[in-house]
Amino acid sequence: MQSLNSPAGVDLNSLIRKTGTTLTRAFVGPGYRTIQCKVNFSTNQTTGKSFGSGHTSGPRYEWQSACSILAGKVESQQQNTADAAAVVNGHATIDLVPVEVQSTPIRKALSISDLSPSPMHGQKLRVSYQGVPGAYSEAAAGKAYPGCEAIPCDQFEVAFQTVELWIADRAVLPVENSLGGSIHRNYDLLLRHRLHIVGEVQLPVHHCLLTLPGVRKEYLTRVISHPQALAQCEHSLTKLGLNVIREAVDDTAGAAEYIAANKLLDTAAIASARAAELYGMQILADGIQDDHSNVTRFVMLAREPIIPRIDRPFKTSIVFAHEEGTSVLFKVLSAFAFRDISLTKIESRPHRHRPIRLADDANGGVAKHFEYIFYVDFEASMADVRAQNALAEVQEFTSFLRVLGSYPVDMTPWSPSSSAAVE
């Protein structure tokens, strides 16, 4: 016989009786006719069964199955009726028992939003820079990515590592100054790390001489700042009549922070006007740079390169090395000249792994030459066919060639008179 699962609230054992007994079952429910089932188990025949249509069934197990199914329907209908009657005119008529909430929250599965990429340009990026708040690099980061979250780093290499380790999305670092020249440390780091240049920003530099409030220049015996800041203000300090010791520190804003933290009344710092505001210092002299066209060029670094375009001015930075002396350098530069591609910068740095190259001299001796790595910036996009052909030709003459980045040129206008507003 086919097994039958008991409906909720119905005990099938109650339907089983000994032989010779008579069982009557009646089910009454809303929307249903009265159902009466009567059976004489001695004859195993069912009599007087009315299922609305007047049909009668034969075997006993069919009667049990039918009664069980009907009982389940009646029980379900009564439960629905009770639930509906629990609310009258919108008011609950039963007390609800609160469900105890688990103390340990259920962990949500990771979704694609949890693994989303870094924000787009300018959308609250995390940008690292070298220095402390108030440094010119912080101002450059704010100019490159307005509204970004600036992350100060104590060293240039730390700023590179923050991007590689996904602590920051971008890094903004200086590479050259119109007065002090190239910042060689960052050129070496560009070769050591695998980040890509994705943009540049030029920041006018406006130096100020900062002291603690109330200090006069006659009290000063020392001026501290970044080495390039000291060099850029050398003549101005002399004109101010300051016969002081000039001491180099890591960065300009760090010099102001050091004086403020140690309450040094005999020491001044060369830094920005923002540094004076942040560290509660007074501006003893404003605009003390020797050349008011003082500009520092910063590059923006990212883990991935950007797609080069040709609908706006682009610049491409490369680094290469060769093994045949300076004669190959002429061939490399000719590859750009023949295609009318202008070079904006060429910088040579000693090859760290091969600093000396030995060559046989014509007089029978051995000549020693320095091995160099060359950094070149040229005005063309990597999407430009001329640039692609030029680099294909350069690769034939070099032992090493790497594209550091192809990025838009900073076209932001600036003037010496507006440099103070940048701070």
Compute the C-alpha angle 173/375/164, nearest 5°.
Answer: 40
Q: How many helices (H) and strands (E) does the chain have?
A: 11, 22
| Alpha carbons 103 and 111: distance in angstroms, whole number | 24
- Whether 296 is a known active-site residue: answer yes
At 283, list the tokens: 């501006």
Cβ-contact 318, 402 below 8 angstroms = yes
Torsion, Cα 138 347 332 324, to 10 degrees, reads -140
- Whether 56 is a known active-site residue: answer no
Which residue among the candidates 211, 296, 316, 398 is catalytic per the annotation? 296
Burial of 354 (0-12, 13-18, 19+ CB in 10 A): middle
Burial of 415 (0-12, 13-18, 19+ CB in 10 A): exposed
Q: What does the DSSP 8-state code read for residue 186?
A: H
Which residue among the candidates 46, 156, 267, 298 is catalytic per the annotation? 298
DSSP 93-145: -SPPPPPPPPSSPPPPPP-GGGG-----TTSS-EEEEES-TT-HHHHHHHHHS
Q: Which of 345, 343, 348 is nearest to 387 (CA)?
A: 343
Cβ-contact 192, 199 below 8 angstroms = no
| Alpha carbons 273 and 141: distance in angstroms, whole number | 17
Amino acid at 33: R
Cβ-contact 356, 370 below 8 angstroms = yes
Q: Scanning the structure block, which residue is given the tokens 């190259």?
A: 357
* Three-state secondary-structure class, residue 69: helix
Buried b (16+ CB within 10 A) or exposed e, 306-344: bebeeeeebbbbbbbbbeeeeebbeebbebbeebebeee
Enumerate residues 6+ apart whose C-beta is below 8 A from 355: 370, 371
Estimate to the nearest angstrom the gap between the alpha carbon of 198 and the chain centroid: 14
DSSP H or E stretch at residue 402: strand 400-408
| Alpha carbons 244 and 9: distance in angstroms, whole number | 100
Catalytic annotation, residues: 296, 298
